[in-house]
Chains A and B, each alone.
Chain A
Amino acid sequence: QKEVEQNSGPLSVPEGAIASLNCTYSDRGSQSFFWYRQYSGKSPELIMFIYSNGDKEDGRFTAQLNKASQYVSLLIRDSQPSDSATYLCAVSPGGGADGLTFGKGTHLIIQP
């Protein structure tokens, strides 16, 4: 069974600091990796996706992928109180045309 593991948290980070979120996955055949942000009571909002080993940066966000270790991470620089949310890691065997397997999410709290 495909599994995606995340530390549920809460992860508390001071405003302005770097928040580091981690995710591991069990299916070695996974090809696409996504980070979504979910505010309480809302649906997930896509932050980033990554397909290749290494780092991918988009504004304050950096996704890191290590397929050999089956590990994905998300770094949030200059954390803001509005970044407080649950961050969901999701993986797919292919791309956007395949259903996603989600982790349970990490609850991030940015302390002002």
Chain B
Amino acid sequence: GAVVSQHPSWVICKSGTSVKIECRSLDFQATTMFWYRQFPKQSLMLMATSNEGSKATYEQGVEKDKFLINHASLTLSTLTVTSAHPEDSSFYICSASVYPKTQYFGPGTRLLVL
């Protein structure tokens, strides 16, 4: 149980384009999902908290107009990187909150912006 999937696993795009990443909880319903970002040799940094049916809560320093988050159902959250630039190249990982108090992570999406 507690399986989280992400799609795509890899994406390469040109600078200025938008990229959508999907995060799904496969065998449970997740009212809360999280989006993290990890740069090489760095740890995971929380970007935003996504709650089903409401607006996402962004961490300080994360541009909400650049990183659009939609949590339309209890099993799906999406992160759209708008007008991506090379500095947005990173490993994006989602997680889902599981009762009572744990989080399970998806396999991650590697984004490379050329």
Q: Interface on A for B, CB 8 Å cutoff?
A: 32, 34, 36, 42-46, 49, 51, 88, 90, 92, 94-105
Contact = CB atoms under 8 A, between A and B. Distances in A.
The SS class assigned to the B binding surface is: strand
A48 B4 CA distance: 18
30 contacts: A32-B101, A34-B102, A34-B103, A42-B107, A43-B91, A44-B44, A44-B105, A45-B105, A46-B102, A49-B102, A51-B101, A88-B43, A92-B101, A95-B101, A95-B102, A96-B98, A96-B100, A96-B101, A99-B34, A99-B46, A99-B49, A99-B59, A100-B34, A100-B46, A100-B95, A102-B44, A102-B45, A103-B43, A104-B42, A104-B43
Could you say which interface size class chain B belongs to? 20 to 34
Interface in B55-114: 59, 91, 93, 95, 97-108
